[in-house]
Amino acid sequence: MSSPVFHYRHKSLCVEDVFLSDLAQWVGTPFYVYSAGKIGSQYLQYEGAFREVPHTICFAMKSNENLAVCRLLASLGAGADIVSLGELYRAHQAGIPMSKIVFSGVGKTEEEIAAALKAGILMFNVESSEELDVIHAVAQRLRRVAPVSLRVNPNVSVDTHRHITTGHAENKFGIPLSQAEKLFMHASRSSWLKIMGVQVHIGSQILDLSPFRETVRKLQGLIERLEEKGIFLHVVDIGGGLGVPYQGQSPVHPSELARIVAPLMKKNVRLVFEPGRFLVAESGALVSKVLYRKETGRKKFVIVDAGMNDLLRPALYEAHHPILPVHQSAALPSEKADVVGPVCESGDTFARSRLIPHVKRGDLVAFLMSGAYGFSMSSQYNARPRAAEVLVKGHEWWVVRARETLRDLVRGEKVPPYLSVKKKGR
């Protein structure tokens, strides 16, 4: 799809062939909306770039765990990169083949390891020697050979937000390259471990792909040293990380990554990728209603009904999400304003002193590029039920997650008998 996913028709913002204002009327605000077409076209870009070589694209579920989104990607051929038992469960519910699941994360519990082993996943991306020993012990106990890859930390610097770099020696992730060979040898001696390969994930929202070049060079060196020792890898997992143009930067294309990893493609290995953001970020928007305007003399504030509990990225990373009015109007000039949510924290700010079209109470606004790490990082902070999620395909749409109710807010909670209050009948 070459046209922008979110576009104006008769001065009203649409996603594919659906007006956001119609959705707002049906589902209320705030809500997330995703374009199935855009998710598909992003996936096919990735797929196309590596068509020539054996590869598996494992969608990083943490970026968007909605079952319909995961199912859509699975229907196109994707597997999943999971980081918890919860994500294993979701992947199963979404019909993602277990044989295409990689399990990442520095803190896998024994329970999680056992469940994933029984489920028959493609491999564990192991992050420490202690974890490797625990996987060995669980495999032995269950009498099932565990497929493992070692996640190495290539110690490369990536130009991205400090919270989302992962491939530097300062980060908690991966096994230092200097220790990797020894650990591979250790793993090769266990008959309960099957060495699948090596994995890296150097960070997220990467727009300058040069750190991948250094990473590939370091991986090649490791692979050759292992071959000399008689250890042959079947899989090289490059992780995720491709960035998206939140602020109109020039976008990256997976074919650039393909050029960089070309030396690995010549090896007789399956390449695994774990993209999250690249597949889903641009497909999604958070739609919210303006509750109030307020001018303090120093500043103008636009107060909307979505908060940091719905979209945490601006508060946590000072992330920039483009903001568009759902109805275009030229009645009043654009203005500099802070766009803020209702949560009782100053950090609950989507944009500071940003030039935005004039909007008034009752208008709808869309926070674009919210399909990744949007709903999945949302919470009920301030006792705010989580938003609805909608999937659009052409002129059709489906509520793929209902808005939470007030009951959902207290589900599972119990007041001990000694504190219980008799509720007055209503």
- Provide the minimum distance between the beta carbon of 293 and ligand LLP in the complex, in angstroms, as a whole number: 29
**Has 14 been annotated as catalytic?**
no
CA distances from 144 to 18, 132, 183, 406 (A): 49, 15, 20, 45
290 is an interface residue for ligand LLP by CB under 6 A: no
Q: Which stretch binds ligand LLP (CB under 6 A): 70-78, 188-196, 268-276, 356-364?
A: 268-276
DSSP 387: P
Determine how many CB atoms are found less than 10 A away from the CB of residue 304. 27
Amino acid identity, position 281? A
201 is an interface residue for ligand LLP by CB under 6 A: yes
- Provide the minimum distance between the beta carbon of 370 and ligand LLP in the complex, in angstroms, as a whole number: 10
357 is an interface residue for ligand LLP by CB under 6 A: no
Coil/strand/helix, residue 151: strand
Distance CA 14, CA 21 (A): 8
Q: Which stretch binds ligand LLP (CB under 6 A): 31-39, 178-186, 275-283, 325-333?
A: 275-283
- Interface residue with ligand LLP among 15, 20, 39, 60 (CB under 6 A) is 60
Q: H or E segment at 311?
A: none
240 is an interface residue for ligand LLP by CB under 6 A: yes
241 is an interface residue for ligand LLP by CB under 6 A: yes
Closest to ligand LLP by CB, 40 or 239? 239
Q: H or E segment at 40?
A: helix 36-49
- Provide the minimum distance between the beta carbon of 165 and ligand LLP in the complex, in angstroms, as a whole number: 10
**Residues, the chain, total?**
426
204 is an interface residue for ligand LLP by CB under 6 A: yes
Of the listed 14, 58, 70, 344, which one is catalytic? 344
108 is an interface residue for ligand LLP by CB under 6 A: no
Q: Do residues 284 and 246 touch, judged by C-beta distance below 8 A?
A: no
- Provide the minimum distance between the beta carbon of 373 and ligand LLP in the complex, in angstroms, as a whole number: 3
239 is an interface residue for ligand LLP by CB under 6 A: yes
Q: Do residues 37 and 45 touch, judged by C-beta distance below 8 A?
A: no
In DSSP terms, which residues pair with 392 in a beta bridge?
Answer: 35, 397
- Interface residue with ligand LLP among 100, 136, 218, 277 (CB under 6 A) is 277
313 is an interface residue for ligand LLP by CB under 6 A: yes
Q: Do residues 357 and 331 touch, judged by C-beta distance below 8 A?
A: no
321 is an interface residue for ligand LLP by CB under 6 A: no
Residues in contact with ligand LLP, total (CB under 6 A)?
21
What residues have CB less than 8 Å from 360, skipping those under 6 apart?
Answer: 290, 293
Q: Do residues 334 and 358 touch, judged by C-beta distance below 8 A?
A: yes
Query: What are the contacts of 168-173 at 24+ separation with CB within 8 A?
Result: 172/106, 173/106, 173/127, 173/201
- Interface residue with ligand LLP among 164, 231, 264, 291 (CB under 6 A) is 164
Interface residues with ligand LLP (CB under 6 A) are 60, 63, 81, 104, 164, 166, 201, 204-205, 239-241, 274-278, 313, 317, 372-373
Q: Which residues are catalytic?
A: 344
